[in-house]
Chains A and B, each alone.
Chain A
Amino acid sequence: MLEGHTGPVNGVAFLSDGTPVTAGYDGTIRAWPEGTSRALARYAAPQNALIATVDGLASAGADGTLHLLSEDGRDRATVEAGIGPLVALASDGNRLAVAALSGTVLIIDTATAQAITAINTGETALWTLGFTDDGTTLITGGSARAPRRWDVATGRALGPIGTVPAPAAAQADRGAQLFRACAICHATGADSASRAGPSLAHLFGRAPASLPDYPYSDALRRLSAPWTRDSVAQLFEIGPQRFAPGTKMPEQRLADPDDRAALMDYLERATK
């Protein structure tokens, strides 16, 4: 275990000799040779991400500054990205991709510290990115909920990998929008097969754990009262793990009573 940062550790990478290095909310970059600790660099702002490059390290700051440093901590270059707080980094060797929460990505030549391409992903919150192995394509992920592809050389959109339901329809129906989080695991149609979770067809009035061909957990089998609007709403008010301790359904909650009502309205319609 490596202790030394005062506050959260946000980034970790390895130097070429295998020494771990970390970047912290406290603004420091620390190297950890043989369990000891040494500050490589100290910056004014929290550091959100750290990555190893061919010529050292790159650290992304919450103040929008990208620091390129050598393995011994010397500052090689400082890039004022000018795109707001930086949240993620990816490297394909000679180039670095730096993502700002605001949705912009800069592709930077690590040797010259110059930006080569700017990509405006249009995400309202951009969180993560990665290069394909051949370095031609960048994949980004954020509020659009499906990964998207970009041409590294031109910054052109190559389109999502999965399709995203039209946002217009979603706004019109809050319940349907909320159910998308459930649809990953649950179908609703009358004769639809179970996914990772059981089909919710005819849910209200149905006894818990009553689909003959779904391998329910014992936790769910122990419940007896048939599902109602109230009990399903309660399931997501207090969370599945409190409602049925040991259930296989992952923990998720809906704090807002209006959201719960909207989801129950949707379920009533969709599972009839």
Chain B
Amino acid sequence: MRTPGPAAYKQSMRLFILIACLLLASPAHAQPVHGAPIRALAVLPDWSVVSAGLDATIIVHRLSDGAATILQPAHDGAVNAIVALPDGGFASAGADGGVAIWSRTDTLPVRWLEGHTGPIAALAVNGEAIASASWDGTAWV
């Protein structure tokens, strides 16, 4: 028999916290709201709404019953743009100049793209391509 090592312990704690968050976010409780105005949102094909605030928090709301999931903090600063991706996930970007790619199932980004030296104001998607527009005066594809 193997006893779980510290890594496994950490992993299970993460899971526990995730479940705790999901429970806290269940419809029986008050829904979480952003700590600051909402700056960006996207409606996903599975009828959930991803919203992000000037407080950097990203929340996924299920439209059917209002159940909400708070995602792990990923951005340093305001999130200015969210777009739905063709695979059901979404991308977020903002003041930190990075683009986070999220799947619909993970509460941590699955990828992180960098390149801008200034805040990102907008995102657009065309198939596999994501374009970002930045206050640094440039756009990346």
Contact = CB atoms under 8 A, between A and B. Distances in A.
B100 interface: no
A113 interface: no
Nearest to A52: B124
A74 interface: no
Given A9-B139, A141-B51, A143-B37, A20 B63 contact: no
Contacts, number: 194
Contacts of B39: 127-128, 141
B141 interface: yes
Interface stretch (A11-19, A104-112, A200-208, A218-226): A11-19
A161 interface: yes
B40 A141 contact: yes
Interface in B110-137: 115, 118, 121-127, 129, 131-137
B45 interface: yes
Given A195-B24, A196-B21, A145 B141 contact: no
A23 B49 CA distance: 26
Given A162-B32, A195-B20, A147 B138 contact: no
A252 interface: yes
Interface in B3-34: 10, 13-14, 16-17, 20-21, 24, 30-34
Contacts of A165: 30, 33
Contacts of A45: none
Given A12-B123, A195-B24, A20 B10 contact: no
Interface residues of B, number: 62
Given A130-B49, A162-B68, A14 B134 contact: no
A249 B55 CA distance: 12
A20 to B, nearest CB: 5
Contact of B138 (A9, A142, A250): A9
Contacts of B20: 193-195
Contacts of B118: 8
A11 B37 contact: no
Contact of A162 (B24, B61, B138): B61
7 contacts: A11-B122, A50-B122, A133-B45, A145-B36, A164-B33, A193-B20, A195-B21
Given A6-B137, A181-B55, 11 more contacts: A1-B140, A8-B118, A10-B133, A20-B124, A50-B122, A139-B49, A141-B40, A143-B37, A147-B61, A165-B30, A180-B33
